[in-house]
Chain A
């Protein structure tokens, strides 16, 4: 089991994500700086952390998506490696085109920082297999641009193919169909706005995020 966390200038959840991976696998991930053009050999799991990469200039995730390391991540995703993008990581994944749609400014314009209730929609993916479909979990969000937008045909296809992994239990940020996290068509890439890495131990106020890492990292072990 070999993991990596990508670090951009402005990432600020990279160490939380590394910590969650370390606690679940017993082994620290490689931290990969955005200027790298290659990834370590034999990677199983790549995490793209939350934060404000490149200061959110132009659009959230736009600059990071064009950074050298992301070309390597796109190639690794194409080879079936698991890729998890959280918050800004989700924005980066849509900007690279690994996931469809885009994340726009929250409908209420406010930065939202609070716990939200979510429903697990698909428990068949490598990331969600330790939950049951319909499970309600609580994860924190902390974002300004989490308003998921895609055209109706794309939304219908995501729903029909079971690629909506998580949905807000109630409207939060204006996201189309309350979508909080989606999978790519092969199921090895998940982007989500809520922060599972912030709730893996009771001391953090909850453990609902832990099963996501256990599922993804044990499936690959």
Chain B
């Protein structure tokens, strides 16, 4: 069956986990002269094409088993 629906999984670092990449972005923004930049956190977005009718539970299982490392990351699922 051709995939027809889309889901987006957004993976972010948990609060309290130090984010060296976010820090580097923060200091680069300040270096470019952008004032008032506070904490910066970097994450990733994973877009999935799925067979129609795929359940949110299935996507959650994908996120738990592979897409996010729940030791250090949270995830959010957006799907129709």
CB distance from A151 to the nearest CB of B (A): 8
Q: Does B55 interact with chain A (Cβ within 8 Å)? A: no
Q: Which residues of B contact A59 (CB under 8 A)?
A: 69
How far does the alpha carbon of A108 sit from the alpha carbon of B56 in the complex, in Å? 38
> Which of B17, B65, B66 makes the CB contact (< 8 A) with A149?
B17
CB distance from B39 to the nearest CB of A (A): 16
Q: Which residues of A contact B17 (CB under 8 A)?
A: 104, 149
Interface size on B, residues (CB 8 A): 11
Determine chain A's interface SS by DSSP, over half rule: loop
How far does the alpha carbon of A196 sit from the alpha carbon of B17 in the complex, in Å? 29
Q: Does A15 interact with chain B (Cβ within 8 Å)? A: no
Q: Does B20 interact with chain A (Cβ within 8 Å)? A: yes
CB distance from A95 to the nearest CB of B (A): 7
Q: Does B67 interact with chain A (Cβ within 8 Å)? A: yes
Chain B 45-71 residues near chain A, CB threshold 8 A: 65-67, 69, 71
How far does the alpha carbon of A60 sit from the alpha carbon of B55 in the complex, in Å? 28
> Which of A62, A66, A101, A105 makes the CB contact (< 8 A) with B20?
A105
How many A-B contacts are there with CB distance less than 8 Å?
A: 36
How far does the alpha carbon of A123 sit from the alpha carbon of B27 in the complex, in Å? 42
Contact (Cβ within 8 A) B71 A101:
yes
Q: Would A62 and B24 be within 8 Å (CB), given that A107-B18, A174-B18 are in contact?
A: no
How far does the alpha carbon of A104 sit from the alpha carbon of B17 in the complex, in Å? 10
How far does the alpha carbon of A48 sit from the alpha carbon of B67 in the complex, in Å? 22
Contact (Cβ within 8 A) B20 A102:
no
Chain A window 62-80, contacts with chain B (Cβ cutoff 8 Å), 1 for yes, 0 for no: 1000100000000000000
Q: Which residues of A contact B72 (CB under 8 A)?
A: 102, 104, 149
Contact (Cβ within 8 A) B71 A109:
no
Chain A 172-188 residues near chain B, CB threshold 8 A: 174
> Which of B20, B21, B67 makes the CB contact (< 8 A) with A58?
B67
Q: Which residues of B contact A150 (CB under 8 A)?
A: 71
Contact (Cβ within 8 A) A62 B71:
no
How far does the alpha carbon of A102 sit from the alpha carbon of B13 in the complex, in Å? 12
> Which of B20, B24, B66, B69 makes the CB contact (< 8 A) with A174?
B20
Chain B window 1-40, contacts with chain A (Cβ cutoff 8 Å), 1 for yes, 0 for no: 0000000000000000110110010000000000000000
Contact (Cβ within 8 A) B66 A102:
no
Which 10 A-B pairs rank lowest in CB-CB distance, beginning with the nearest?
Answer: A102-B71, A102-B72, A105-B20, A107-B20, A109-B20, A109-B24, A102-B69, A59-B69, A149-B72, A66-B66
